[in-house]
Amino acid sequence: MVSFFQNTGPYNINELIKFTKFSKKKKFENNIIKNVSNLKDAKKGDITFLENSRYLSELENTKASYCFIEKKYMSKLNTKVKPIVSTNPLLDFILIIKIFYPDADGDNFKFKPNVKYKKLLANNTLVDASVKIGKNFKVGLNTTLKKNALIGDNVKIGSNCVISNAIIGDNVIINDGSVIGKIGYGFKHINKKMHFIPHIGHVKIGENVYIGSNCTIDRGSFANTIIGRNTMIDNSVHLAHNVNIGEFCFIAGQVGIAGSTQIGNHCMIGGQAGISGHLKIGNNVQIGGGSGVLKNLEDNSKVMGYPAKSIKDFLKS
C-alpha cells in the first residue's frame, strides 16, 4: 500500500517475527518483507493479517507473501501465502507496522512553514513545507494545512480547518472547522498498556465533493478513507477510519459512519443516522434520518428505524 508515511523497511521475516507477541515462533526462509498491507491491497513481498471472519473471502485472492492468521482459518488461505499462526493476528500485525512506520503512530506536531505559499501564510493560514496546492486555491483564516496535504485545482477550504494526510481532488469545498486526516480511533491493549493502532493510510477526496462545517474525517489505518466524486456531506458528520463512500451520495448533518464501512454510489443518508462498522451498503440505498444501520444493505434498499428495517416494515410497526 502506498503511504505518505516513511517506510523504514525492508526487513527480513525472521527479524520481524521476533517483535511479535502472539505468533508461533518458527524459522522461515530468509525472505525480505517490503511492506505491510491489508489483505485486499497486498502485493508480493507484503505482510498482512486476517482481522476477523468478515474478511475470510479475501484470503483466497490476497497477493501477500505472509499473513498473520488464527490456526482455525489457515485452511482458507491461498497456498501462495505463507501463514504465520498467531493467537492475536491484529496485535502482532500492529507490532510489525510500528517497525515499518514508526511515524504513523500518532499525529505529527512538527510544522515547517512553506515559503512557497507565503501569500497564504500572510492570511493567518499556515501551510507545511510538504503541502502541494493546485491552481485557484481559496482558503479562510486560521486554517492549517499540515503534513501530507495534496490539494487539487479550484479547491476552497474554510477557516479553522486542520488538514493532513489527504489527497483532495479538484473543485472540492471544505467548510469551517473541519478536521481531516488525523489518526483514527483505534487502540489495543498490549501488555496492559494502551497502544494506538498505527494509521499509515490517508483520506482521499474525489472531485466536486462538498464537506460541511465541523466534520471529522479520520485517515485510514491499513487502507484509505475514501469519499467518491460529487458526494455532498453536511455539517458535523463523522467518518471513521477506512470508511469508503461512493459517488453522488448525500450525507446529511450529524451522520456517523463507523470504521471500514463501505457505502455504494448514489446513496442518501438522513440526518443523525448511524452506520455500524465493517458493513457493506449497496448502491442507491436510502437511509432515513436518525436510523441505526446494523447490517449490510443490498442495492436499492430503503430503510429506517433503529435497528434499521425496510421503510414498509417501519411504517407498519
DSSP symbol at 83: E
Question: What are the backbone dihedrals phi and psi of residue 46, each rounded to the nearest 5 degrees, phi first?
Answer: -90, 155
Sheet holding 216-217, edge to edge: 126-127, 144-145, 162-163, 179-180, 216-217, 238-239, 256-257, 274-275, 292-293
- Using rule CB under 8 A, residue 292 touches a copy of itself: yes
All cell numbers assigned to 221: 489505518
- Using rule CB under 8 A, residue 286 touches a copy of itself: no
- Using rule CB under 8 A, residue 250 touches a copy of itself: yes
CB 106 within 8 A of CB 201: no
Residues shown for the chain: 317
> Between 99 and 311, whose beta carbon lies closer to a copy of itself?
311
Distance from C-alpha of 162 to C-alpha of 47, rounded to nearest angstrom: 32
Q: Name the segment binding a copy of itself (CB under 8 A); options: 20-28, 40-48, 82-90, 270-278.
A: 270-278
- Of 244, 250, 242, whose CA–CA distance to 289 is shortest? 250
CB 219 within 8 A of CB 183: yes
Question: What are the backbone dihedrals phi and psi of residue 59, each rounded to the nearest 5 degrees, phi first?
Answer: -70, -25
> Between 30 and 109, whose beta carbon lies closer to a copy of itself?
109
- Using rule CB under 8 A, residue 158 touches a copy of itself: yes
Distance from C-alpha of 137 to C-alpha of 114, rounded to nearest angstrom: 15
- Using rule CB under 8 A, residue 7 touches a copy of itself: no
- Please identify which residue in 139, 151, 203, 303 interacts with a copy of itself, judged by CB under 8 A: 139
Q: Name the segment binding a copy of itself (CB under 8 A); options: 8-16, 25-33, 45-53, 106-114.
A: 106-114
Distance from C-alpha of 20 to C-alpha of 41, rounded to nearest angstrom: 22
Verify whether residue 241 is a known catalytic residue. yes
Total residues interacting with a copy of itself, rule: CB under 8 A:
57
Q: Which of residues 33-62 bind a copy of itself (CB under 8 A)?
A: none
Distance from C-alpha of 83 to C-alpha of 271, rounded to nearest angstrom: 44
- Please identify which residue in 42, 169, 238, 246 interacts with a copy of itself, judged by CB under 8 A: 238
- Using rule CB under 8 A, residue 142 touches a copy of itself: yes
**Within 13 Å of residue 170, how many CA atoms lie on the same side as its CB?**
3
- Using rule CB under 8 A, residue 22 touches a copy of itself: no
- Using rule CB under 8 A, residue 256 touches a copy of itself: yes
All cell numbers assigned to 213: 462545517
Catalytic residue of the set 199, 202, 241, 266 = 241
Sheet holding 66-69, edge to edge: 35-36, 46-49, 66-69, 82-85
Q: Name the segment binding a copy of itself (CB under 8 A); options: 15-23, 74-82, 83-91, 141-149.
A: 141-149
- Please identify which residue in 7, 214, 283, 310 interacts with a copy of itself, judged by CB under 8 A: 214
- Using rule CB under 8 A, residue 172 touches a copy of itself: no
Could you give the residue numbers annotated as active site? Answer: 241
Interaction site with a copy of itself (CB under 8 A) = 106-107, 109, 111, 123-124, 126, 138-142, 144, 146, 156, 158-160, 162, 173, 175-177, 179, 182, 185, 187, 194, 208, 210, 212-214, 216, 218, 230, 232, 234-236, 238, 240, 250, 252-254, 256, 258, 271-272, 274, 276, 289-290, 292, 305-306
